[in-house]
Every structure is written in C-alpha cells, then in structure tokens.
A and B are shown apart, each in its own frame.
Chain A
C-alpha cells in the first residue's frame, strides 16, 4: 500500500456506522507533514470515531484511510508503533506516580525517559516537582501535561490528541496549546480535536464537523473570510425578551446568544444601525447596544450548521 504521497494522513470518503447510528457519513481530508490540524465540532459530531479509526482501534465501515502511507486495516501494526495517541478519557494510571507512569509508557514503547527527554523536557519540567505524586492526585491541567508526555515519550511521527483540553481550566488550556505549537515546530504532525471554537485559531487548518459530516476545511482565516456577511452584536437589558423579539422580526436571519451579546445576521443589507435601534426601542427595550463585528470561528460554525440543516 505504498502510494507515494506528501500526506501524513489521508482520509477518503470515510464512513463509520454503529448499530443504530451513522457516526461518520463520508468524510475526506488530508494532513500534510508538520501540520497542526484541528477537528472542530460539538460532542457527538464523530471526532472520536474518526480518531479511533486513524489509530487503528476501529475498522472503517467504508472508505480509504491511510496514516504515514500505511493502510489502517492491513498495516495496523506499523501505524501503531509510529503514532502517539492520547484518548479522550485517558486518565493514566491513577495509582501510579507521575514518574512511574512515564517510565511505564517509555518501557512498553521500548525506550527510556532519558532517550527522548529532549522532546518532553519543556513539558516535563512543569510537572517534575510533583513526580512522586500519584497521577490520580494531579489537577486536570497537570494530568493532561503528563498524558502528553506519555504520548510523546517514544518520539512518534504523528500525534493524535482526542479532546485534550476538555475539562481543563483556561490557563492550562492556553499553556497546553503553546506546547502543541512548540511540538509542531519540532516537525511533529499533530491532529487534535476540540469542542472549543476559540482553539481553532491556533491550528494551521481546521475541519468543522457536525453530525458526521465535514462542513468546511480551511485555514482559520479563510473560514472566517468565507463568512461573507455582516454580523451584528446586539445587547439589551432584557436579553431573553430580545432573543424572542429578534426571532419574530421578519428581516432577521439568525440569532445566536454569545456571552452577554446576541450575534445576529440579517436577510437584508439595507438596514443600518439606527434603524435597528429604533425598531428595538419600539419593542420596549432599554440599554440597547449594537455594533457590527467581525465573525469568529463559532459564528462560522453556527452559520454552516444552520445552512446544512
């Protein structure tokens, strides 16, 4: 199955069905060497299924999947020894200490901590002060750092991380992504999935996935460019009433709550800010704030989602 290609990961028309649901419905994408590729989508979108197929843990129902030019069905053993994988639920061995966990994973991958220390050094120094602590007693952020060390210890060519930042605090998330970017700079190809839209901007390319289908694959900048419409952020004192009122207005297209603001798009380009304010004031809204803003990935995601429906 050596089909000379420049891609580290190549997925063509991948389908995966379980007994009752079709989790992945025909997905195609490819990842080049040294790329940081993000699979962005909500829970149940099919991210974990795709990653488990890539890591040869599950069979694809249909379609072609190759990793490092090896077929995931025939050559699964070769793939397994060359990838680093961090499963979603991965919580290490709770009753082993930090150092024991790392040493164990080094050992079963036939290497030692010392051999690849360079690779994990940046990350490991952060948790080294706690190396005698049991993994079960680490904080969420530290656990993920340790898990990353364990996935990296055998110096894999590809790193596959399934929702590594879920359930981790904002600061640790940021640190974690900084580490990923440093690893990318060392030439490691990284595939990462996340439900957090804000993390998409840190990827080289992202695939927005929903209900087992990829809605868009592009660089984060391009994805935003493709939004192509005027986006308004609206706020008033009675936010719930505001949602109801906006949805009942004929010229309003989409309304999505977004923090303390509502992001809305209109069916017409003719309306300006003052006209909008006056319409809302008629509906007894006070403290109205309206401004045109630039779309972010989440806006794009929401829009793609509503159009695909």
Chain B
C-alpha cells in the first residue's frame, strides 16, 4: 500500500509540474464551451414525426401526405391524445409532432383560416429549428399551390412550439457534447500519453523490474486522472449552470454517477491505447484520430446522427460519447431517470468491461 501511495504521489507531481498538462486539464473546458457556442446549421432527412389529427378530414390528410411525401419526414406514429405527445417525445424516437385542430377543413372553408401546431423536440436545437422550418415551408407551399389555385383566399397558420428548450439555447446542445469531448480527452489521451511516456523514457523498464505489480502501476496512473476529470466535469456543469443558465432537471447525483461511469470507460480506453503504443507520439496520434475526431464528428455532438449516411451511423454506434451525450441530455434537459436511459448506461458499462479486459490481456510484464 505504501508503494502504491508513493506511486500515486509521483503521478500528481508529474501533472502539477507540467504547465502544458495543467493547461489542457483546466484551460480546455472553459475554452471548449466558448468555442462550441457557435454551432453551424445542417440539413435534415428522414426525421421521424408523429401526427395528432383531431380533424381527420380530406385537407388534413392531404397535408399529411404532402409532408410524408417530401422525403424529409417519416410518419412514425399517429397519436390520439395530448398525453400521448409527451410520451412519444420521451421515448426519444420522434423529433416533431404535428397537431391539426378539430374541424380543420370546415373551419378553413367557413372562416378562411385554420391552425396547425408544430411541436418540436428542442433538446437538440439545430434539428428542432430546421425540422419546424421545413414543416412550415411544406404547409405554406401547399396553401399557395393547391388552395390558392382553386381561387380560395385560405390561410393556414402554423404555430410552432419548442418542447424542453423553448428558448432555443444552443448551449443546451453543446454542453453534453463538450463534456463528452473533454472527459474523453483528459481521461483517455492523458492517461495513454502518461503511460507511453514511461515507456519512452525507459522508466517503465525499472517499474517492471521493481516489485510493483502491473495492476497497481496502471491503477496508480489512472487515479489522478480520474480525480481531475471528475473535477473537470463539475467545472463544466457549474459553468453551464451558472453562466449559460442551463437547467439540471434530473438528479445531480445521478448525473455525476453517469459521468463517473463515462470517465471510467475513457480511462480504460486510454490504458488500452497505451498498451499498443510505445511512445508518446503514437499514443497521441491514436487518441487524436481514433478518439477525438470521431467523438466530435460522429457522436451526434455537432451533426445529427439520423442525417448521416448509413455506414457512418453504424460507426457512430460504437462511439461511447454518443451514448453519454444522450444520457446527459436526458438527465439535464428532460429530467429523465434510469428508466429511460438504462440502455445507454448498460452500453457504457459493457464498453468499460470490454476495454478493461482487453488492456489487462494486452498489458505486458515484459518489453515484448
């Protein structure tokens, strides 16, 4: 135990004496949050929607047909009550619900105006915005091309409602992503680099020859980064809560527990990377290209997963960050509990076990 404490102490010395490491550890979260505040907009297709048709007449059916025929939307389910709308969103499959008011055609013919409500899931601001704009455009073109040509001065007024994030704050979208990115960076990259550094400098040879067993060496390497990553996660959450006024609807303790799970997963991945890289450069490149870029591009952080080509969607399903982002969004924005995100949690647990098992198998007590 004494040996182990000595080892952990040494690791903290390494971290606190290296200004670059410190910068990555503590300067990064703040910089990232500010940088990712400006998110570019994207195209959409095959968005799953629900329709709650209170009228069921020939015009609502025609509009429904127009929308589903546009190629942007897929009608996922027909809803029959207001309550079902909420439930449908919580399941997380549909992005938008279109509600036709009762006696739609009748009103339109009588008053010359009728209302449609467009409800979008704005926990993903970009998608919500784009989806509702597309829907409005389709409805408007229907009014213009079909109704006007019949010489009728009709008007359909779409009313847009954003669910979960009615102020449309982009920060709600990039906080979970930034958290995933930073934790991935700090945990996986820093751990793999720090183990690879020992190999590069030849100190690993001494450590291997010492009575210190491989497991304490690895755990000793991991503990400081685990602690610091956790501090980082808290900094990010605090920053988003106090500076960007992002709500934490769900349980904070649950959120931190899930975060800890993700950190643990990233650390296991870091160890695995270090077992296959012999110097810091290799560890760095593997972390950069195999972890960071995919995390940014494929996890749904910036680009909505459903808009990706099929093959990239498959690849994205092995991105741990993807599940973590879903988890964080659900807890922070929707206030969901484990009942909703047990699947994602289970996937992360599985990945952790896999990476850890692989690293133990691959960790060498020798140099070859």
Binding site for B on A (CB under 8 A): 52, 55-59, 76, 80-81, 83, 85, 87-96, 100, 103-105, 107-110, 150-151
Q: Shortest CB–CB separation between residue A287 and chain B, in angstroms?
A: 48
A52 and B367 contact, CB distance less than 8 A: yes
* Nearest CB in chain B to that of A88: its residue: B202
Q: How far is the CB of A116 from chain B (nearest CB, A)?
A: 15
Query: Does B209 lie within 8 Å of A57, measured CB to CB?
Result: yes
What sequence of 0s and 1s flags, for each residue 1-44 of chain B, a beta carbon within 8 Å of any chain A beta carbon? 01100110010011001100000000000000000000000000
Contacts of B201 in A (CB 8 A): 89-91, 93-94
- State whether the Cβ of B151 lies closer than 8 Å to any Cβ in chain A: no
Give 5 nearest A-B pairs by CB, closest first. Answer: A107-B6, A89-B202, A87-B205, A95-B17, A87-B202
Other than the given A58-B367, A90-B203, A107-B3, 16 more pairs (CB < 8 A) read A55-B209, A56-B209, A57-B366, A57-B367, A59-B368, A80-B211, A81-B211, A85-B209, A87-B205, A88-B202, A89-B202, A95-B14, A95-B18, A108-B6, A108-B212, A110-B2
Contact call B13/A100, Cβ cutoff below 8 A: yes
> Which of A57, A90, A95, A100 lies in contact with B208, CB distance below 8 A?
A57
- In the complex, the answer to whether B3 meets A108 with C-beta atoms within 8 Å is yes
Cβ contact within 8 Å between B211 and A109: yes
List residues 197-251 of chain B with CB under 8 A from any CB of chain A: 201-203, 205-212
With contacts A52-B367, A91-B201, A107-B2 taken as known, whether A96 is within 8 angstroms of B209 at the C-beta atoms is no
A109: chain B residues within 8 A (beta carbon): 210-211
Q: Among the listed B18, B206, B368, which residue makes an inter-chain contact with A105, where contact means beta carbons less than 8 Å apart?
A: B206
In the complex, A55→B6 CA distance in Å?
24
Q: Give chain B nearest CB distance to A204 CB in angstroms.
A: 24
Q: Which of B205, B208, B365 is packed against the most chain A CB atoms within 10 Å?
A: B205
Q: How far is the CA of A91 from the CA of B209 in the complex (A)?
A: 16
Q: Which residues of A contact B208 (CB under 8 A)?
A: 57, 80
- The A-contacting residues of B in range 72-99, CB under 8 angstroms, are none
Chain A: which residue is nearest B205 at the CB level? A87
**A49 → B minimal CB distance (Å):** 10
- Shortest CB-to-CB span from A308 to chain B, Å, is 28
B10 cross-chain contacts in A, Cβ below 8 A: 93, 96, 100, 104
- A-B contacts, 29 of them at CB < 8 A, read A52-B367, A55-B205, A57-B366, A80-B208, A81-B210, A83-B209, A85-B206, A87-B205, A88-B202, A89-B201, A89-B202, A90-B201, A90-B203, A90-B205, A90-B206, A91-B202, A93-B14, A95-B17, A100-B13, A104-B6, A104-B7, A104-B10, A108-B3, A108-B211, A108-B212, A110-B2, A110-B3, A110-B211, A151-B206
Query: Which residues on B are within 8 Å of A, measured CB to CB?
Result: 2-3, 6-7, 10, 13-14, 17-18, 201-203, 205-212, 365-368
Residues of chain B with a CB closer than 8 A to A95's CB: 13-14, 17-18
**What's the minimum C-beta distance from A15 to chain B, rounded to whole angstroms?**
15
Contact B7 A108 (CB under 8 A): yes
Q: Provide the residues of chain B in CB contact with A150, threshold 8 Å.
A: 206
Per DSSP, chain A at the interface is: loop
Complex CA distance for A95 and B365, rounded to whole angstroms: 25
B210 x A56 contact (CB < 8 A): no
CA distance A93 to B6 in the complex (A): 14
Q: Which residues of B contact A56 (CB under 8 A)?
A: 209, 366
Min CB distance B278 to A, Å, is 12
- In angstroms, Cα B208 to Cα A56, docked, is 9
For the complex, what is the distance from the CA of A121 to the CA of B113, rounded to whole Å? Answer: 97
Residues of A contacting B209 in the complex (Cβ-Cβ under 8 angstroms): 55-57, 80, 83, 85
Closest A residue to B208 by CB, please name it.
Answer: A57
A103 to chain B, nearest CB (A): 8
Chain A residues near B207 (CB-CB < 8 A): 108
**Closest A residue, CB atoms, query B200:** A89
Q: Which residues of the partner chain A approach B210 to less than 8 Å between Cβ atoms?
A: 80-81, 105, 108-109
Provide the bound-state CA to CA distance between A14 and B44, in Å: 66
Q: Which residue of B lies closest to A103 (CB)?
A: B6
Closest B residue to A95 using CB positions: B17
Contact present for B6 and A85 (CB under 8 Å): no
C-alpha gap A220/B310 in the complex (Å): 73
Q: Give every chain B residue within 8 A of A92 (Cβ-Cβ).
A: 203
Chain B min CB distance to A94 (Å): 8
CB distance from A156 to the nearest CB of B (A): 10
Q: How far is the CB of A99 from chain B (nearest CB, A)?
A: 12
Residues from chain B with a CB closer than 8 A to the CB of A151 are 206
The smallest beta-carbon distance between A147 and chain B, in angstroms, is 9
- On chain B, the residues within 8 Å of A83 by CB distance are 209
Q: Which of B7, B18, B211 has the most CB of A within 10 A?
A: B211
- State the CA gap A58–B203 with chains docked (Å): 16
Closest chain B CB from A26 CB (angstroms): 20
**A91 nearest in chain B by CB position:** B201
**Nearest-CB distance from A129 to chain B (Å)?**
22
How distant is B51 from chain A, measured CB to nearest CB, in Å? 63
Q: How far is the CA of A151 from the CA of B212 in the complex (A)?
A: 15
* A132 and B202 alpha carbons, distance in the complex (Å): 22
Contact residue among A52, A58, A76, A87 (Cβ-Cβ distance under 8 Å from B206) = A87
Give the residues in chain B near A57, CB-CB below 8 Å: 205, 208-209, 366-367
Shortest distance between the CB of A232 and any CB in chain B (Å): 43
The chain A residue sitting closest to B210, CB to CB, is A108
| Of listed A57, A85, A96, residue having the most chain B CB within 10 A | A57
Residue of A with least CB distance to B212: A108
Bound complex: CA of A93 vs CA of B7, how far in Å? 12
Chain A residues, CB < 8 A from B202: 87-91
Q: How far is the CA of A161 from the CA of B366 in the complex (A)?
A: 18
B366 touches A59 (CB 8 A): yes
Cα of A150 to Cα of B7 in the assembled complex, Å: 15
A-chain residues with CB within 8 Å of residue B13 when the two chains form the complex: 93, 95-96, 100
